Structure 1
Amino acid sequence: MLILQIAIILIASKIAGSLSVRLGQPSVLGKLLIGIVLGPSVLGLVKDTEILAEFSQIGVILLMFIAGLETDIDEFKRTGKASTFVGFGGIIVPLVLGYFAGMILHLNMMESIFLGLLLSATSVSISVQALKEMNQLKTQEGTTILGAAVIDDIVVVLALAFLMSFSGGDVHLTTVILKKVLFFAGAILVGWKLVPWFLQKFSSLKISETVISSALIICFIYAYLAEYTGVAAIIGAYIAGVAISVTKFKHDIFEKVETISYSIFVPIFFTSIGITAEFSGITKNIMLIVCLSILAILTKLVGAAIGAKLAGFGWNSSLGIGSAMVSRGEVALIIAAIGLETKLLSQEMFAVIVVVVLVTTIVTPPMMKLFFKRNTETETNAA
């Protein structure tokens, strides 16, 4: 059944992606929506299995690895200030308004703060694909978005650990901070000194495809260690890609890993997001879902856009950057699962949050298309 399900996903995602492009939207939107159609919520042709989830995890890791390979280090350094502004802007606004939303919903103070932190999370894995399709990934805006995602991940997880230390969760703040410091320090040091050496030595082995194999080894080890230390695996994969991007093997690795990724793993990742959607029993909370979805979209869009504007971007670019930060993705789902386990989220609220995360993921590509298209048209007219 797994083989048949993979075949169905690949056929459907490619066709849906093509139709989406013909309708003027990024292909990723069609792949997300076809996942809902294929999944239990509509046709039930594909089920959410553990093996499919593992394929999906590999897909998002490879997607962010490719984004790292395409990152310009010099541009990344230049956008440090902008990334910081966008990252913090995209945290503060959702955190504050999410907290007040929790109070309105009669949650206690800890639960309200948790809801605010949950809405502050960001996952740019979907945005990366949309940026690639619009040729924006290597621009100043694209680099700012990737940098802001790293900052967002660090700050939100640290804030979560701080909250858990007060709520009785077994999360020790000092340990959490130390783990993250060790990971980033180690990742930078290894990327600077050991990654080029490892690629050189491993690629000299007298067997086929040693360069791409060595790159994937680095990618997966970075992703594992990131997840082990409480940083999202996608951040580890992205850093691995950046480390390799400054070596002479960059172009060879990029071409081959892109072929591997987009032939099977990345389509499964996009489609599986829709497949995992579960809509049964949500009708009684439909108004809550609508309100929280609007809140989630607007707070991240406005907060990150204000940060970008303060960093010197024009309004179209700022809104484009803000829209790219809207998707909460797997990062928010992980935080929601922690909240469910520690009783900071009820089972009913958890189900609502899952749908809200799906909504933010689906609306991100068309929003990016709208604002970045305006930005391109403005630049063209100015020229």
Structure 2
Amino acid sequence: MLILQLAIILIASKIAGDISVKLGQPSVLGKLLIGIVLGPSVLGLVTDTTTLAEFSQIGVILLMFIAGLETDIDEFKRTGKASAFVGIGGIIVPLVLGYAAGLMLNLTTIESWFLGLLLSATSVSISVQALKEMNKLKSREGTTILGAAVIDDIIVILALAFLMSMAGGDVNLGVVVLKKVLFFAGAIIVGWKVVPWILKKFAPLKVTESLVSAALIICFVYAYLAEFTGVAAIIGAYIAGVAISLTDYKHDVFEKVETISYSIFVPVFFTSIGVTAEFGGITDHLVLIVILSILAILTKLIGASAGAKFAGFSWNSSLGIGSAMVSRGEVALIIAAIGLESKLLSQDMFAVIVVVVLVTTIVTPPMMKSFLVKKSKSHG
């Protein structure tokens, strides 16, 4: 079954992506929407299996690894302040308004803060693809978005640990913070000293594609250790990509990894987002879904755009950066799953959040395109 499903996903995602581009939208939008069509909600040709989920996980890890490989570290240093403004602005507004919305929905204080925190999450894996298609990944805007995503992830995960310890979960805040600090410190030291050495040792081996295998080993180990220490796997993969981007092997690794990723794993990731959408019983909560979707889109857009404007970007660039932070993706879904498990989210609320996350993911690429392409035209 899996082999047939992969064939269906690949053919459908490539055709849908092409149609999306012809309609003036990023190809990723077509791939997301075709996932909904192929999935249980419409045609039922593809089902959400564990194996498909694992393929999808590899896809998002490779996508962020490629983004790391394409990062210009000098530009990254220059945009550090802007990334901090965007990341923090994009957390404060959704957190506060999400909390207020929770209180209006008669949630308890701690459940309301949890909802606010959930709306503060960001996943830029979709935005990375849209930036690549617009040739903006290496621009000042692109680098700011990637930096802000890392900052957002760290703050939200630490705030989540704090909230869980308040909620009476057996979470030791000191241990949580220590694990994150150890991961980032270790990741930077290993990236600086060990990664170049590993690549140098693997490159001359008398086996096919030893260099690319070494790069993928580094990517997967970083992603695993990130997840193990409570940081998102995609952040680990991104840092691994940045580490390799500083070596002489950057271009060789990039070309081969891009080929592997985009021929199978990345299309599966985009399409499976749509496949996992469950629309059963959605009509009972339609009003809540609409309200929370609007809240999710506007709070992130306003908060992150304000941060970008504060950092000196033009309005179009600021709104483009804000748009890129709107997608909540797998980071919000992981937090929602934790909320469901610890009884901070009801089963119904969890189902609503899953649809809201899907909505934020689908609207992100067209919003980014409308602002960032406008900006290039006004400059051109």
Give the gaps of 5 or more residues in structure 2: none
Where 1:138 maps in the other structure, the secondary structure is coil
Where 1:277 maps in the other structure, the secondary structure is coil
Report the counterpart of residue 150 of structure 1 in structure 2: 150
The number of residue pairs the alignment matches comes to: 380
- TM superposition score normalised by structure 2: 1.00
Q: Write out per-residue CA displacement over residues 64-105 of structure 1, whole angstroms, 9 at most, x where no aligned residue.
A: 000000000000000000000000000000000000000000
Whole-angstrom CA distance in 1 between matches of 2:377 and 2:255: 31
Q: Counterpart amino acid of 2:88?
A: F
Report the counterpart of residue 46 of structure 2 in structure 1: 46
Moved over 3 A (4+): none
Report the counterpart of residue 182 of structure 2 in structure 1: 182
Comparing 134-143 with 198-207, greater Cα deviation is found at: 198-207
Whole-angstrom CA distance in 1 between matches of 2:170 and 2:42: 39
Report the counterpart of residue 195 of structure 2 in structure 1: 195
Where 1:45 maps in the other structure, the secondary structure is coil
Whole-angstrom CA distance in 1 between matches of 2:9 and 2:157: 33
Report the counterpart of residue 238 of structure 1 in structure 2: 238
Q: Write out per-residue CA displacement over residues 128-159 of structure 1, whole angstroms, 9 at most, x where no aligned residue.
A: 00000000000000000000000000000000
Give the gaps of 5 or more residues in structure 1: none
Q: Counterpart amino acid of 1:119?
A: L
Residues 1:21 and 2:21 aligned together: yes
Q: Counterpart amino acid of 2:376?
A: T
Whole-angstrom CA distance in 1 between matches of 2:170 and 2:326: 30
Whole-angstrom CA distance in 2 between matches of 1:308 and 1:236: 25
**Displacement of 1:172:** 1.2
Q: Write out per-residue CA displacement over residues 158-214 of structure 1, whole angstroms, 9 at most, x where no aligned residue.
A: 000001111011221111000000000000000000000000001121111111000
Report the counterpart of residue 61 of structure 1 in structure 2: 61
Q: Counterpart amino acid of 1:9?
A: I
Where 1:344 maps in the other structure, the secondary structure is coil
Whole-angstrom CA distance in 1 between matches of 2:373 and 2:255: 27
Report the counterpart of residue 206 of structure 2 in structure 1: 206
Q: CA RMSD in A?
A: 0.4
User: Among the aligned pairs, what percent are the same residue?
Assistant: 81
- TM superposition score normalised by structure 1: 0.99
**Displacement of 1:323:** 0.1
Report the counterpart of residue 80 of structure 1 in structure 2: 80
Report the counterpart of residue 89 of structure 2 in structure 1: 89
Report the counterpart of residue 334 of structure 2 in structure 1: 334
Whole-angstrom CA distance in 2 between matches of 1:40 and 1:54: 18
Whole-angstrom CA distance in 2 between matches of 1:105 and 1:200: 57
Q: Write out per-residue CA displacement over residues 194-250 of structure 1, whole angstroms, 9 at most, x where no aligned residue.
A: 000000001121111111000000000000000000000000000000000010000
Whole-angstrom CA distance in 2 between matches of 1:95 and 1:56: 29
Report the counterpart of residue 318 of structure 2 in structure 1: 318
Q: Counterpart amino acid of 2:101?
A: A
Whole-angstrom CA distance in 1 between matches of 2:171 and 2:283: 35
**Displacement of 1:374:** 1.2
Where 2:45 maps in the other structure, the secondary structure is coil
Q: Write out per-residue CA displacement over residues 283-334 of structure 1, whole angstroms, 9 at most, x where no aligned residue.
A: 0100000000000000000000000000000000000000000000000000
